């Protein structure tokens, strides 16, 4: 008889929308001391791929050691900032292999 242990990791992608104050590009034309407009917050869609299957979801349960791809999307241009779960930097797509439960957070700033 063989004993098999299965270790599962729960990965959560937390998409955070961020609107910023317009200095000149969002229809306001104000200065940094007197902003006159605020850009609308952009909608973000959270996608996670496991074993090549990409699904629109905010969290996933995977076996420890399984490669995971986090790839949120926004309809407008902007920048991304990642933290947690071994993610980092400003690339929209993050590929990593979790070994424990964790949460990755992406902050999107629309342009």
Name the pLDDT band for 103 (thresholds 50, 70, 90).
confident
pLDDT (tens digit, 9 = 90+) per residue, 1-32? 544 444 555 665 444 433 333 333 454 444 44
> Distance between CA atoms of 66 and 64, rounded to whole angstroms?
6
- Annotate 24-47 with DSSP letters as a single string: SSSS----SSS---BPPPPPEE-E
- CB-based contact 35:28 (threshold 8 Å): yes
- CB-based contact 66:49 (threshold 8 Å): no
Count CB atoms within 10 A of the CB of residue 109: 15
> Distance between CA atoms of 110 and 77, rounded to whole angstroms?
6
Mean pLDDT, to the nearest integer, of 50-64? 88
Residue 25 is predicted with a pLDDT of 46
Q: Inform me whether the pLDDT recorded for 55 exceeds 80.
A: yes
Residue 101 is predicted with a pLDDT of 85
Distance from chain centroid for Cα 58: 9
Residue 17 is predicted with a pLDDT of 37
Name the pLDDT band for 111 (thresholds 50, 70, 90).
confident
Q: Inform me whether the pLDDT recorded for 52 exceeds 80.
A: yes
pLDDT (tens digit, 9 = 90+) per residue, 76-86? 788 899 988 88
The length of the chain in residues reads 111
CA end-to-end distance (rounded Å), the chain: 60
Distance from chain centroid for Cα 92: 7
């Amino acid at each position: 008889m063989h004993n098999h242990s299965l270790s599962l990791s729960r990965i959560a992608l937390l998409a955070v929308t961020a609107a910023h104050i317009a200095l000149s590009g969002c229809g306001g034309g104000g200065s940094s001391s007197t902003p006159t407009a605020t850009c609308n917050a952009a909608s973000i869609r959270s996608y996670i791929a496991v074993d090549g299957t990409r699904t629109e979801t905010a969290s996933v349960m995977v076996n420890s050691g399984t490669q995971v791809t986090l790839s949120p999307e926004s309809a407008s241009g902007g920048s991304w900032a990642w933290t947690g779960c071994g993610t980092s930097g400003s690339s929209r797509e993050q590929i990593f292999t979790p070994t424990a439960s964790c949460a990755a957070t992406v902050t999107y700033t629309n342009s």
